[in-house]
Amino acid sequence: MSEEKDNSRLALVRGAVQSLRAYAVTDATGMIKLDAMENPYQWPDDMIRTWQEQLRAVEMNRYPDPRAGALTDRIRAAGLAPVGNTLVFGNGSDELIQIIMLTVGGHGRKVVAPVPSFVMYEMIARFTDTEFVGIPLRDDFTLDIEAMIAGVREHDPAVVILAYPNNPSGNLFDREAMLELISECNGLVVIDEAYHIFSNASFIDDLDQYDNVVVLRTLSKMGLAGLRLGYMTGRREWLTEFDKVRLPFNVNVLTQLTAEFALQHYRVFQEQADRICRERKRVERIMDSLDNIIPYPSDANFVLFRCEGCDAEEVYQGLLQQQILIKNLHGSGTALQNCLRATVGKTHENEAFLNALSLLVTTDYSLQ
């Protein structure tokens, strides 16, 4: 085919898509992987065996239960959603964000979110033709409630999204400020509780007080990132609309069964989460003791930190050379200047990371 013809066909790709870059994932083969907020722990052996036995009975020739009824019951039984609430499931909560924007976003509509926050909010807004309006957080990554309210009044967004706790900063926004914002919004307020298992804070039990709030949850960060399962809940009227946009069999049989099984053992995940939180406090404390490092307080399973008097890019590369992968946020916005984010791993992984970090930040580069 002629190159010219080929190019003219590619010109069909919508501008909104052409201007995007695909979500980048760094190859972590052989590395200590502290970049993606994964739970580092496996399941106990007997749990794996029982799960595998259950998998044998799965009928792969059948479509999955479109409503995931058994899974819904299991989530309620585990105390992860109010009894009586309708749930809509997604292939990860990323898909739920997409469903929300396909339902209430689009040309001429706006989404407001604080920045920096989860990058997929802007990405999904862009490819659904929804205008993204980012309102800067304060310097300490707390919610700038005055600016948020001014933004909501100016833009009258169809959606406001708040990650609670926030990613990449790790903090919980002030609850009173969020309630104030909810009452200011004519549109929908989405509260993304991806890290709820670490944070002890949630809006999920208060949903009946608001007609414009939905809560998103995911099983990814609690230890099932490979499974791809998220759910949302809120007023039934909203969920009925979202359910029209959800593709009929978006959550496959293996995911449904595995999530049901895992949630029967929710205590295992809760204990792992507690362990991760204890480890996080230790990591924060050690980082705090390093002269050139400023860690930000976290209610999640990761720590955002700023390099002061050292170069974040060099620190990131130095860690990579030692097979330690964290997330480099430097350059992804001025507020994240010189910032890196490390997921809390197993104790020996955190040790390796912290040792390498302390050597890197105390090295005087000018002598090299």
Ligand X SMILES: *Cc1c(COP(=O)(O)O)cnc(C)c1O
Residues forming contacts to ligand X in the complex (CB under 6 A) are: 37, 92-94, 118, 163, 167, 192, 194, 218, 220, 225, 230
Question: 159-163 and 110-115: which strand pairing?
Answer: parallel
Q: Would you say 37 or 325 has its CB closer to ligand X?
A: 37
Q: In what order do the strands lie in the sheet with 213-218?
A: 87-90, 230-234, 213-218, 188-192, 159-163, 110-115, 131-136
Q: Would you say 95 or 349 has its CB closer to ligand X?
A: 95
Helix axes 236-245, 93-104, angle to 10 degrees: 100
Amino acid type, 39? N
Minimum distance, C-beta of residue 165 to ligand X, in the bound complex (Å): 8
Minimum distance, C-beta of residue 98 to ligand X, in the bound complex (Å): 10
Q: Cα–Cα distance between 212 and 220 in angstroms, integer? A: 25
Minimum distance, C-beta of residue 127 to ligand X, in the bound complex (Å): 16
Q: Are 158 and 104 in contact (CB under 8 A)?
A: yes
Helix (H) or strand (E) holding 42: none
Q: Cα–Cα distance between 232 and 100 in angstroms, integer? A: 10
Q: Would you say 167 or 298 has its CB closer to ligand X?
A: 167
Residue of this chain nearest to ligand X (CB atom) = 92
Q: Cα–Cα distance between 293 and 285 in angstroms, integer? A: 11
Minimum distance, C-beta of residue 92 to ligand X, in the bound complex (Å): 3
The 10 Å Cβ neighbour count of residue 83 is 8
Q: Would you say 94 or 299 has its CB closer to ligand X?
A: 94
Minimum distance, C-beta of residue 95 to ligand X, in the bound complex (Å): 7
Minimum distance, C-beta of residue 193 to ligand X, in the bound complex (Å): 8
Q: Would you say 167 or 338 has its CB closer to ligand X?
A: 167
> What are the helix (H) ranges across 265-334?
266-289, 312-321
Q: Would you say 252 or 322 has its CB closer to ligand X?
A: 252
Q: Would you say 218 or 250 has its CB closer to ligand X?
A: 218
Minimum distance, C-beta of residue 169 to ligand X, in the bound complex (Å): 11
What does the DSSP assignment read for 279-292? HHHHHHHHHHHSTT
